[in-house]
Amino acid sequence: MKIYVIKIAVRGVSPMVWRRLRIAADTSLAALHSIFQIVQGWGDDYLHQFHIYGKDYGISYDGGIGFPDNPFQTVIDDFSFDIGDRFTYEYNFFEHWLHDVRVEAIHEDSTLKTPFCTSGHGMPGATPEDEADKTLSFLEAIVNADDTATVGDIRAFVDDLDAVRFNRNKINRQLSKLDLAAPALEPEVIWLGRRR
């Protein structure tokens, strides 16, 4: 199987928020959107679009932008990317989260697992102070736990920390549950950028 190694980075954010991923060549643009949602920790609440070789691609929703190409049938390999090629992904047209995506490597006849996040740093919208605050809250919860404390009592602090800290293992667990072979269903209707 042909595999692309791509790096996705949020534009204009310091310190840099980025992910390095392996994706199969037959990954559809709709699936790539779902993958990006998982690796960035988002809930697919806003409109999006890819801009590849001067053309926009995305999932068409009622009340949103329409796209002529079917994102469930357009796959990564259709673009014949070479190493070093770039494209962009925009998520949330209100906040304009622009992502620069770069093809870093292409592996022919690979048996590596996909989709898979190999590395990354930071979370969109989170600051180092956010991570420090959530880490301290988590540590305080552990230190102050008594004999009656359960894992469920501590879980909320872990979830809060994961919302502001890059967690590759959690991302890969979520990616492993993604069913990319499932038939494409009609997307939910989005009104004013929100699912209803």
Q: Categorize the per-residue pLDDT at 125 as very low, low, confident or very high, splitting at 50, 70 and 90.
A: low
Residue 54 confidence (pLDDT) above 50: yes
CATH number where 83 lies: 3.10.290.30
Are both 156 and 175 inside the same structural domain? no
What is the domain range of residue 82? Answer: 3-122+166-191
Predicted confidence band at 13 (pLDDT cuts at 50, 70, 90)?
Answer: confident
Does residue 118 form part of some domain?
yes
Same-domain status, 81 and 148: no
**CA distance readout (Å), 82 to 23, 53, 105:** 14, 12, 8
Reported as a single tens digit per residue, the pLDDT across 78-100 is 999 999 999 999 998 888 889 99
Lowest mean pLDDT among 15-19, 108-112, 150-154: 150-154
Task: List pLDDT tens digits, range 57-66.
Answer: 998 887 778 8
Residue-by-residue DSSP string for 120-166: EE--TT--HHHHHHHHHHHHHHHHT--TT--HHHHHHHHHHHHTTS-
Percent of the chain with pLDDT over 90: 51
- 150: in domain: yes
User: Which pLDDT value is given to residue 66?
Assistant: 86
Domain count, the chain: 2
With left for phi above 0 and alpha for psi between -120 and 50, is residue 84 left, alpha or beta? left
Does 196 fall in a domain? no
